[in-house]
Amino acid sequence: MADPGSCNCGPVTPLEIYNQLTAQGDKVRALKSEKASKDEIDAAVKLLLALKVEYKTATGQEYKAGSPPTDNTPIANNGLPPADDGDDFVDPWTVQTGSAKGVDYDKLIVRFGSSKIDQELIDRIERVAGQKAHHFLRRGIFFSHRDMHQILDAVEKGKPFYLYTGRGPSSESMHVGHLIPFIFTKWLQEVFNVPLVIQMTDDEKYLWKDLTLEKAYQYTIENAKDIVACGFDVNKTFIFSDLEYMGQSPGFYKNVVRVQKHVTFNQVKGIFGFTDSDCIGKISFPAIQAAPSFSSSFTEIFNGRKDIQCLIPCAIDQDPYFRMTRDVAPRIGYQKPALMHSTFFPALQGAQTKMSASDSNSSIFLTDTPKQIKAKINKHAFSGGKDTIEEHRKYGGNCEVDVCYMYLTFFLDDDEKLEKIRQDYTSGALLTGELKKILIDTLQPMIAAHQERRKQVTEETVKQFMTPRKLAFDF
């Protein structure tokens, strides 16, 4: 899946927004006539309203059906409805915000037309799963969804589903932020006992970055070792390289072609901001990320069945790929994939951006030594504390912008302990240096344990995970 990287974000025109609006209006009417779920209709209406706001911003006029814009001067905003304050920018390659608190996720839900993971849904997940929700759910780290109620309906009726997530292997070592979807996906797989497919988009990295095909594939193998070290079950999990699997699986490639036929160049320009100077590989790539959403792409696992619904846990920046996929799915006779979206893992320097694999000081890498972890946190972690101890004791720290506290919300499982840290830091009883030490003491053993598990992962182990085969499920 896409990682942050270079993005040639091209302009869109008022006419393109107008056409998107017209298509979205048709979609809302179709959903209502088909008596679609309330979640689905609400999400489609939200997107329609956001597009109307974008159209008015671009043209200065209200949208009127049947009255296309007279001025078609391009506007550069990558085809997504803008954030109200203009500060947040999110696409599959770039995440930027002007706020030290990070991206405004409530606004992003409205922009993307997804649904909030509210307490009612968390309670239902706990009832269906028969256990306490993962702390990523309890703390709003996975905060948004599409059609999660459909997945739970299927579980209650004894129907199968499967999980799909991925990794864009852009460097030899992954950082702790890359673990988030895999930690949560592993929990979902164990709770619901379902197959999992993990796509390694080495083809994407070759197309977007200055890498050879050989280097991109080498990164896939190295990253796969880190993923396997998370503890996935080889009997229930298939990891695949796009560069390798596409040539082995007719079912997969047929689905790529099906998606390609139903998405126009204008649509991918509108969704992803591609320009006329982008290589055709980039333009066709979204169909490759879409294909694992359909069970018939994996004939060895699902025995040719086309009716197994897919659930995709991923960061919210990947959603444009799957909005496109969900739009195409009914037209090629498939179920729409369901999604669960996570927030972004902030850089050490603050929540304005995601961590970057290309900046070693923005991230805690899975290869870092205890000494490096300590030095990076002490030197680079953005603090919500005051300038002097006296001021901090008097006024307290700000957990909303403090990166060490943010990291603890991801990696400290104990709710009571986390709440005590929040209260103590906010009141000034806990100093910034002490908070940093708590994070260091949390991450050092976690990463050391990961490194030990990774040492046990051989090339042969990776080969087992990456061999197309039947998994421990009967379809």
247 assigned to some structural domain: yes
CA distances from 126 to 147, 256, 322 (A): 17, 35, 26
What does the pLDDT read at residue 4?
37
Query: How far apart are alpha carbons 313 and 194 in whole angstroms?
Result: 14
83 assigned to some structural domain: yes
What does the pLDDT read at residue 81?
41
Clarify whether residues 122 and 82 are in a common domain.
no
469 assigned to some structural domain: no
Domain that holds residue 155: 101-345
- Residue 421 CB coordination number (10 Å): 22
Residue written as tokens 């066709």? 284
Clarify whether residues 329 and 360 are in a common domain.
no
What does the pLDDT read at residue 93?
63
What does the pLDDT read at residue 12?
59
What does the pLDDT read at residue 80?
43
What does the pLDDT read at residue 359?
67
Q: Count the domains in the chain.
A: 3
* Radius of gyration from C-alpha coordinates of the chain: 22
Q: Which two tokens stand for residue 230?
A: 């998370």
39 assigned to some structural domain: yes
Clarify whether residues 145 and 91 are in a common domain.
no
> Mean pLDDT, consecutive 10-residue segments, the chain of 475 residues?
43 75 85 79 78 76 82 51 52 66 83 92 96 96 96 96 96 92 97 98 95 96 97 98 96 97 92 90 97 97 95 94 96 97 90 63 91 95 92 93 95 95 96 96 97 96 97 94
Q: The domain spanning residue 434 has which CATH number?
A: 1.10.240.10
What does the pLDDT read at residue 78?
38
Clarify whether residues 334 and 355 are in a common domain.
no
Query: How far apart are alpha carbons 174 and 241 in whole angstroms?
Result: 17
Clarify whether residues 317 and 430 are in a common domain.
no
Clarify whether residues 221 and 177 are in a common domain.
yes
Query: How far apart are alpha carbons 208 and 200 in whole angstroms?
Result: 14
472 assigned to some structural domain: no
What does the pLDDT read at residue 303?
93
What does the pLDDT read at residue 85?
43
Q: The domain spanning residue 137 has which CATH number?
A: 3.40.50.620
113 assigned to some structural domain: yes
Ramachandran region, residue 312 (left: φ > 0; alpha: ψ -120 to 50; beta: rest): beta
Write the pLDDT tens digit of every residue in 108-160: 888 888 999 999 999 999 999 999 999 999 999 999 999 999 999 999 999 99
